[in-house]
Structure 1
């Protein structure tokens, strides 16, 4: 089975082709392409939803033609068209859903709406070192920070989540307070490489709460307070503040992940989402897990951000597991808010439901 995946939940347009294998193993990534809208949104200091939606319209079909050419396939070779149904920006999601259903109708092929976070969670299966079930998953994308116990495809138990700002938001908002360009997270991480992580004592919210929830809004407020205290000296101390901020976020993520592993008794950790590409986070998780003889798995760096490959893969794995049935019904809706743990271990309804 050959599956086309379309991702358009926020500010990146991703299209990919995945092929399931006869032996039922992990599906093969045949081709993928991604267009980032970073340069367009930089002038506004953040994502402008209307502009994002319009840009998705311009990019989806050319990217589809590009991945078909790379794979050496034609449109007739597509068996299923998958798309991100949610969560995300409503207008952006509607673009991907509309294109996917129109393409499915034109080709007479079934379509399937996919959960964006499930795509992230399963994306490490496309890596050179794919995980095995069961495992603890740390999902750290731009707007989500969650710890999940994962027994198999569609079998997710929420262990803890953010009660306010996610880790990615903490990176981006702190960077903005320091005057760094959009998107701030990567800029802050780069700047932190030349700073002293011990220079400023910043809070580690909920670090000793006894549960597995996260909170980063207080850290952002502490960074704001520190920038005001520094005043004219901010420029000279910016690298130190960036390093201290990153250290606070990473420590919370690492400590909570280790607590989740201890609580569940599992010896395998999957880290997925854009923040999962953070160099310090990977270094500290690798070191801490090695001491505890825990295996850590990450997506390939190119697949950490939003992408079509993870959507096509999630669709393929759900179909293989019998949890989803793609249907040749082309009315659609989207789910801008859609908790991952709401996915049931039963066949999912069509996008028309």
Structure 2
């Protein structure tokens, strides 16, 4: 029988510092005891995007206070930690090194094993932290930052890529389109909020690769189409794109969001049909999009397909998903923690290339 284990997880792949504590019971799914998160959004807004060096320095300032906060909230101490997990990749090299260095130093000081975790696997398994966790096997739509992938998931570490983006991902399409409309960083969320006030049929924008016959994605052309349409609207109004009337901007935002969501929904349904599976997991930051959830829920309900999402506050990068992924790898026997404290990070690391 599996021995009860307490896992401390550290996330530092980009612009959020996350720490969490997860308990693996002798039987059943791991349980989240506490987590804390610090977002660097306000710091990076002045630059219109993430500045890697600033991100790394801020992780250094935040990670230990967040660890102390998590331990206090959980009622546990460092002595109760059995394994220290960290995000090994993909992500910004300097930011990853902060989390890896702290995790390995802490584990060495405690004489406890350490485990490097794939960031995207953290997102993929984050719905297991929800009140309604999925069961294997399922189709997963992973829409996180620069990644948009559809995959078949038969168990922990058993991932088959069905389709992925060949240029801009869905999250990048949201962010880049938002910038064209003059919206503040991070643009994706701002665009979704503005879209609530607009008409999604106001402008005819392309749905790239919608009828390609495969499960790959491409959103670079959509971004270009948004740029062209914004220019046309600006010329008609006699102003610069960001200075367009609020109603026009809202219609552009709604039309852009509708195009992205339609592609994600149709490709997801095709993947479910091709695999014959009746369960869909949606994970990553774009998975919090209201329109995406509404359309997936409606379409899947008609097909008797169950859809699972992470809790809204766990859609963005966080330590809970890293601790959970580590816990599920340990529990399944897919990977063992090690007391070798030399470490490396993998800024580029395909999800289907994970090895124990």
- Fold-level similarity (TM above 0.5): yes
Of residues 180, 200, 215, the one that matches 1:177 is 180
Match of 1:290 in 2: 301
Structure 1 residue 74 corresponds to structure 2 residue 77: yes
Equivalents in 1 of 2:320, 2:32: separation in Å? Answer: 7
Shift of 1:91: 0.5
The equivalences for 1:39-118 within 5 A come to 39-118=42-121
Task: State how far apart, in whole Å, the 1-side matches of 2:46 and 2:337 are.
Answer: 40
Residues 258-297 of structure 1, C-alpha deviations (whole Å, 9 max, x = no match): 0000000000000000000000000000000001100000
Residue correspondence of structure 1 range 242-257 to structure 2 within 5 A: 242-257=253-268
Match of 1:302 among 298, 313, 316: 313
Output one character per residue of 1:318-345: Cα deviation in whole Å (capped at 9) or x when no partner.
011111111111110000000001124x
User: What displacement does 1:22 show?
Assistant: 1.3
- Correspondent of 1:235 among 245, 258, 270: 245
Report what 2:284 is aligned to. Answer: 273
Residue 44 of structure 1: SS of its match in structure 2?
coil
Shift of 1:156: 0.3
Aligned to 1:21: 25
Once the two structures are superposed, residues 162-220 of structure 1 have per-residue CA deviations (whole angstroms, 9 ceiling, x without a partner) of 00000000000000000000000010000000000000000000000000000000000
**Residue 235 of structure 1, CA deviation:** 2.9
Shift of 1:234: 2.4
Please name the residue that 1:317 is paired with: 328
| Aligned-pair CA distance for 1:72 | 0.5
2 CA distance for matches of 1:43 and 1:5?
30
Aligned to 2:337: 326
Shift of residue 123, structure 1, vs aligned partner: 0.4
CA distance in 1, matches of 2:245, 2:92: 35
Q: How far did residue 227 of structure 1 move?
A: 1.3
User: Which residue pairs with 2:13 in the alignment?
Assistant: 9
Q: Distance in 2 between matches of 1:235 and 1:227?
A: 12
| CA deviation after TM superposition for structure 1 residue 143, in Å | 1.0
Pick from 120, 123, 128 the counterpart of residue 120 of structure 1.
123
Where do 1:145-164 residues align within 5 Å?
Answer: 145-164=148-167
Q: Find the aligned partners of 1:327 and 1:151 in 2 and give their Cα distance.
A: 26
Task: Give the unaligned 5+ runs of structure 1.
Answer: 349-353
Partner of 2:159: helix, strand, or coil?
Answer: strand
Q: Who is 1:351 aligned against?
A: none
Is 2:260 the counterpart of 1:260?
Answer: no
CA RMSD in angstroms, aligned pairs only: 0.7
In 2, the alpha carbon distance for the partners of 1:74 and 1:153 equals 29
1:25-65 CA distance string (max 9 Å, x none): 11000000000000000000000000000000000000000
Instruction: Give SS of 1:204's match.
Output: coil
Listed one character per residue, the Cα deviations across residues 128-183 of structure 1 (whole Å, up to 9, x for unaligned) are 11000000000000110000100000000000000000000000000000000000
